[in-house]
């Protein structure tokens, strides 16, 4: 874990101003906090260190990773340290417009996208002299956009399971910042089943994940499932039509969260069960 760049930004006002504009890492905005109370599902620590002009917040996690949460309910790891994340932000000032790219897209496509984004930025303000000056002052290497995109992609893929961000009051999870697919839970669980593992119920894999010590993988899958139900209660409709709901999945979720020791999520599942099962007196 390194925070060399963060120390320099805090010590030198001119460098902090450059990081804030044009690179969107504004230390002064840390004092404002995020747009809503948040916490990690894993219970790890979060320390806000900067923000951006669109309402997003940068948090340092317990292992030094930098988590970015935007103001619209998405979050993701942007670097294994503040230094790495700043390297990416300074080298790719339009990094949020590159979230859909992967190293597999190839050098030509990556360079073309980055060049187009930076040309648009230059129509409004400079970035080249500012980038060179801030890189030199912070002691950051001059990496290619392709290498920086690879670093960003690797960081984003680390977001789950250990850095799943929750609304601290409601308990629902933030979306992933990027659109990249993740492997299904069953690929991480060492267990053979007859037939297609994708046909097995979620309970098979969350229970096995928990038993094998992959608690956070199980927790993420359960939280995502509870969020799906919360957002679309039609998923509980009984087969065969009609409006009857099968509320047993909520009781199962509550029991599984309790097994993991996650009482807030268990209570959230039970509260939804109660609200959906309540009928007004006639």
pLDDT given for residue 210 in this prediction: 95
Question: Does residue 135 sit in the same domain as residue 87?
Answer: yes
Question: Does residue 213 sit in the same domain as residue 116?
Answer: no
In a domain, 19, yes or no: yes
Question: Does residue 15 sit in the same domain as residue 150?
Answer: yes
In a domain, 163, yes or no: no
Please name which of 206, 202, 227 lies closest in space to residue 218, comparing C-alpha atoms: 206
Give the mean pLDDT of 265-269.
Answer: 98
| Confidence check: pLDDT of 280 > 70 | no
Question: Does residue 48 sit in the same domain as residue 142?
Answer: yes
Question: Does residue 70 sit in the same domain as residue 147?
Answer: yes
Of 32-36, 116-120, 275-279, which range is least confident? 275-279
Question: Does residue 129 sit in the same domain as residue 199?
Answer: no
pLDDT given for residue 278 in this prediction: 65
Report the alpha-carbon distance of residue 36 to residue 59 in Å, rounded: 13
Question: Does residue 122 sit in the same domain as residue 228?
Answer: no
- Render pLDDT for 114-149 as a digit per residue (tens, 0 to 9): 999 999 999 999 999 999 999 999 999 999 999 999
Number of structural domains, the chain? 2
Question: Does residue 152 sit in the same domain as residue 190?
Answer: no
Report the alpha-carbon distance of residue 64 to residue 200 in Å, rounded: 37
Question: Does residue 30 sit in the same domain as residue 131?
Answer: yes
Give the mean pLDDT of 98-115.
Answer: 97
More confident residue, 1 or 236: 236
Give the mean pLDDT of 57-75.
Answer: 97
End position of a domain, from candidates 141, 156, 171? 156
- Render pLDDT for 237-253 as a digit per residue (tens, 0 to 9): 988 767 889 999 999 99
In a domain, 270, yes or no: yes
In a domain, 120, yes or no: yes
Question: Does residue 67 sit in the same domain as residue 102?
Answer: yes
pTM, two decimal places: 0.94
pLDDT over 70, % of the chain: 97
Torsion sign (Cα): 131, 135, 136, 137:
positive
Domain range for residue 140? 4-156
């Amino acid at each position: 874990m390194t925070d060399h760049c963060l120390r320099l930004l805090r010590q030198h006002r001119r460098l902090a101003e450059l990081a804030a504009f044009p690179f969107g890492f504004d230390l002064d905005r840390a004092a404002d906090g995020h747009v809503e109370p948040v916490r990690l599902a894993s219970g790890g620590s979060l320390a806000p260190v900067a923000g951006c002009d669109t309402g997003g917040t940068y948090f340092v996690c317990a292992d030094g990773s930098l988590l970015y949460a935007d103001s619209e309910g998405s979050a993701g790891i942007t670097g294994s340290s503040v230094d790495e994340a700043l390297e990416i932000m300074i080298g790719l000032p339009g990094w949020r417009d590159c979230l859909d790219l992967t190293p597999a897209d190839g050098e030509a496509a990556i360079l073309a996208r980055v060049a187009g984004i930076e040309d648009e930025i230059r129509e409004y303000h400079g970035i080249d002299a500012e980038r060179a000056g801030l890189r030199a002052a912070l002691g950051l290497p001059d990496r290619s956009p392709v290498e920086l995109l690879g670093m960003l992609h690797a960081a984003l893929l680390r977001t789950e399971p250990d850095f799943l961000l929750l609304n601290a009051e409601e308990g629902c999870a933030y979306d992933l910042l990027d659109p990249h697919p993740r492997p299904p839970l069953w690929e991480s669980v060492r267990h053979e089943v007859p037939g297609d593992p994708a046909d097995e119920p979620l309970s098979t894999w969350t229970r096995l994940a928990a038993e094998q010590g992959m608690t956070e993988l199980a927790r993420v899958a359960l939280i995502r499932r509870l969020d799906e139900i919360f957002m679309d209660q039609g998923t509980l409709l009984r087969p065969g039509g009609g409006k009857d709901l099968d509320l047993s999945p909520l009781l199962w979720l509550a029991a599984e969260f309790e097994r993991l020791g996650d009482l807030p999520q268990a209570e959230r599942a039970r509260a939804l069960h109660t609200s959906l099962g309540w009928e007004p007196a006639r």
